[in-house]
Structures are given as C-alpha cells and as structure tokens.
Structure 1
Amino acid sequence: MNIPILMLHHVGKNPDPSGKLMCIDNAKFKLLLDCIESQGYTTIVFEDLIRKNADNAILKKSVIISFDDCSAALFDFAIPELIRRKMRGVFYMPVFHMGNNNSWDIDEFNTAEVKLMDQGQLETLAKAGMEIGSHSYHHIRLAEESEVKCLEELVTSKTILEGILQKPVYSIAYPYSSVPQNYRKLMKSAGYLYGLCIYRAFQNRYTLRRIGIHQSDTKESMIRKLSKTYSWFRCFYDAIKR
C-alpha cells in the first residue's frame, strides 16, 4: 500500500513550546488541508480500504490523516475544519488515559499537560464520520514488553474501544513507533488489520510508514511529503540511517 499516511498529534491556536515536536498551530493545519485539496487528494480511513477492497482507483489519489493521543482540543479547530471540508481522519486513543491527560509525556519529557478525549467525545467523533483506532492501552513501548503483555495491550484497548463505538477497530498506531517482537503473530491474534509506525524503512500492512507533519513544515515541504517520490525517498533514507 502506497498511500501517504500523515501523522499529527496536537493542533491548537497557541501550542505550548514544550510540545513543539508534537504540536502545530491552527494556521499550519489549515495550510496542510489546503495542500491536500490543491493536489487533488481525497482523505480516506481504513474502513474505506476494506469496504472498497483497496481498489487501485481509490489508492491513486488518497491520503490518510492520523492523529495520535486524541487531544480534546482537536474539537476546538481541527475536527470542525475537517468536517467543514468534508474530510475524514483516523484518531488513535491510548485507552487507559481516556478522559485524562498525557501523563507519559509529562513524566518523561516534562511537556505541558494535554487533556484527552473522554468516552462521549469519542462517540461524537465517530458519529461525525471519523475513525477511531488503538494507541495501545497504557501508551508504552511495546518492543520492550513481553509477548503476553503486548497481546494484553493490543486486545484490551481494541475490546474497550469496540464496546464504546459498537463498530470494529481496524488499526493501531504503535506508541513511540515501538513495534513489538513477533508483531505479525500478535496483530493477527488481536484481530487488527493494520499497524502504523513512523518513518519505517520497510513496511507491510502491520508496519505502515507514516510521515510526520511539523510546525516547521512549509507549503512546499507538505506538498513534497504527499508525493510518492517522498515516500520512496524515506524508504531508502531510513534503511541507510538504520
């Protein structure tokens, strides 16, 4: 699958400097959506791939916008802007932290507190046509955990989300892009169809490569990141870098 998958975290009017690597402001997000529209891309979610059986015509000019952590502040601007443009996105929730905050970032990186969506907001998001995925249960580095613990993280988060949404959860975004050992076996056992990483050199359906969007991005760099050429470049670059 060679669809560009964009990765964002938090979008806000005046992002806190402590989270500068994970935050973009409203103007930058609007610019991103402008670029997607100007280049003729359609936003899709993983359910579209399954329902349309990954038809080549769908894949040719499509993009997936993904949001990690499910910041509640996305309802202030980003989500309304997506809805206004009839766009869709995939939102990844670390389920244990639902309705709480980004304690893992606060503890490890001393970043500002970010309030996360609660159950009602997830339900509202789904009713608006957005897709919800898992970001594990505890937001931990799965590559450092036992197979038993990883399976528990994958299954628990998926089960809870499906209970809330009353619909399937198709994908997971691995926290920190930390892919568990024996991930193929674990993903199949847990019932996921797709797994998302960050800048991974080689990909398959369980390790799909994502492209980060940052405050430092310009119109030109965003358009470049949407191109298949950039995706191939990252594939070779990341293989060499590793």
Structure 2
Amino acid sequence: MYHSIDHYDDDPHLVTVSPPRFERQMAWLRARGLRGAGMAELLAEHAAGRARGLVGLTFDDGYADFATRALPVLVRYGFGATVFAVSGRVGSYNAWDTGPRKPLMTAEQLRTVADTGMEVASHGRHHVPLPEVDDTELREELEESRADLEEIIGRRVTGFAYPYGRADAREIDAVRAAGYDYACHIRPDEPSRHALGRAYIGERDGSLRLRAKLVRHQMLWRSRM
C-alpha cells in the first residue's frame, strides 16, 4: 500500500516515499523474482492458480506524482499497479489532509495511466470515512465515483479502496451490493474479497523491513483466509 511518490521536506502523515527509495523497493522485488501487479490482475491470476511471484501494488488517493514519478519506474520494470482515485477531487488537491497540499491527477493523467496498462479504481468521491455517512451518501460515494471514473478513462472500474482503511460490515456489504468485484482494506477483522488486507510501505522500508513485511503479510493472510 503506497500513496505518494515524491521528494519532500515535511510528511506528517507518512504517506510519501521518495523516488530513489521507491526505485530501490521495485528493484528489490524484481531481484527476488517478484513482479508488481494491479489488484484485478492479481485476483484473476490467483483464481487461475497462476499468482505465484505476483505482488499487488496499490496507490491510494491518485496523487499526480503517480503519473510523473511512479509510472515511469513501473513501466521500466514491467510492473502493473492499481491507483485508487478520488473522483470528486480529480485535478485538485488532497483537501482531506491537514498536512502539505499535494496535487491529484487530472483527467488527462488518469487516461494516460489507464492507457499505459495500470488499473484505475475508486477511492470514493470525497475521501470521507464511510462508517460516518448515512446510507444515501454511502451509496453515492460508491456508485457516483465509479461512474465518474469510468467516464474519464473509458473503461470499467471494478475495484474500490476504503478511505482511511475504515470499513465495517455495512460498508463492506454496500461495496459488494454496488457491484464492485473487490475492495481493499488495511487490516480487516474478517478478510474477504471485499475486505483485502494490505501492507503499508513507507520511506523507512529498506530490504530488511521489506522482507519482514512480506513474510508477516503472507503468514497473516494464509492463516485468516
């Protein structure tokens, strides 16, 4: 689970990985015979029994630096990834954060990312904590965000990521009912296709920490799925 790939001076929410560190992390995966993949591809290959060696790479929020910093590295390594965009903030900035303002991808950048083979999926309309909204707003966050993104990229949007990694049974059921094929959580109490766990990756994650996180993640989800 990534967010922003960029140079920075201040990162109070720990959402940014510097480009040199990100490059080393991708090299670490390839050196171990692993390949980054988007979530739709990962799930399809898992269903077909061909997921060995694949690692799902996700980027929450749809920061503009995904297109300018992360995408060139991913393409160079032959990796795929999923970027979860906030449809109501396309071309704007991360208004939900109290820290430094970061630009979000424009519609043109989202189309370029999709045309390059990356998966574009939904992170809601306004990046609101879904357990705090009523049923009507929840439905709008799920359905309208997907419709808007599909219009922008001209492709189906089948995945969702819960803002702030927050989702209880109601929100998980609503995502399933809205027709999403899968949804990414962080550490769900009950893992499922619509509550997939992820491992946070940050600037401090060098080779030893990456190895520890990979092993921990594998052990955790093998025991719970």
TM-score under structure 2 length normalisation: 0.91
Q: Which residue of 1 aligns with 2:217?
A: 230
User: Does residue 47 of structure 2 align to residue 54 of structure 1?
Assistant: yes
The amino acid of 1:172's aligned partner reads F
Q: Of the candidates 179, 185, 192, which is equivalent to residue 167 of structure 2?
A: 179
Q: Which residue of 1 aligns with 2:127?
A: 139
User: Does residue 87 of structure 2 align to residue 95 of structure 1?
Assistant: yes
**Secondary structure of the residue that 1:207 maps to in structure 2?**
coil
Q: Which residue of 2 aligns with 1:239?
A: none
Runs of 5+ in structure 2 lacking a partner? none
Alpha-carbon distance change, 202 to 231 in structure 1, aligned in 2, over 3 angstroms: farther
Contact 1:67 1:92 in 2 (8 A): yes
**Secondary structure of the residue that 1:115 maps to in structure 2?**
coil
Deviation of 1:49 (Å): 4.6
Deviation of 1:123 (Å): 0.2
Write the deviation string for residues 29-72 of structure 1: whole angstroms up to 9, x where unpaired: 0111011111211222233256557222x222211110011111
Q: Which residue of 2 aligns with 1:8?
A: 2
Deviation of 1:235 (Å): 8.6
Q: Of the candidates 107, 120, 126, which is equivalent to residue 108 of structure 2?
A: 120
Q: Which residue of 2 aligns with 1:213?
A: 201
Alpha-carbon distance change, 77 to 16 in structure 1, aligned in 2, over 3 angstroms: same
What CA distance in whole angstroms lies between the structure 2 residues aligned with 1:234 and 1:17? Answer: 33
User: Does residue 65 of structure 2 align to residue 73 of structure 1?
Assistant: yes
Deviation of 1:233 (Å): 4.1
Q: Which residue of 2 aligns with 1:148?
A: 136
Alpha-carbon distance change, 154 to 84 in structure 1, aligned in 2, over 3 angstroms: same
Deviation of 1:234 (Å): 7.7
**Secondary structure of the residue that 2:41 maps to in structure 1?**
helix
Alpha-carbon distance change, 186 to 233 in structure 1, aligned in 2, over 3 angstroms: closer
Q: Which residue of 2 aligns with 1:22?
A: 15
Q: Which residue of 2 aligns with 1:4?
A: none
**Secondary structure of the residue that 1:212 maps to in structure 2?**
coil
Q: Which residue of 1 aligns with 2:75?
A: 83
Between the aligned residues of both structures, percent identity stands at: 27
Deviation of 1:163 (Å): 1.4
Write the deviation string for residues 88-131 of structure 1: whole angstroms up to 9, x where unpaired: 110011111100000110xxxx3111000010000000001100
Q: Which residue of 2 aligns with 1:35?
A: 28
Contact 1:10 1:22 in 2 (8 A): yes
Deviation of 1:20 (Å): 5.3
**Secondary structure of the residue that 1:169 maps to in structure 2?**
coil
What CA distance in whole angstroms lies between the structure 2 residues aligned with 1:104 and 1:163? Answer: 24
Q: How many residues align?
A: 224
TM-score under structure 1 length normalisation: 0.85
Contact 1:41 1:62 in 2 (8 A): yes
Contact 1:151 1:186 in 2 (8 A): yes
**Secondary structure of the residue that 1:73 maps to in structure 2?**
helix
Contact 2:185 2:197 in 1 (8 A): yes
Runs of 5+ in structure 1 lacking a partner? 1-6, 237-242
**Secondary structure of the residue that 1:182 maps to in structure 2?**
helix
Higher relative contact order (CA 8 A, sep 6+): 1
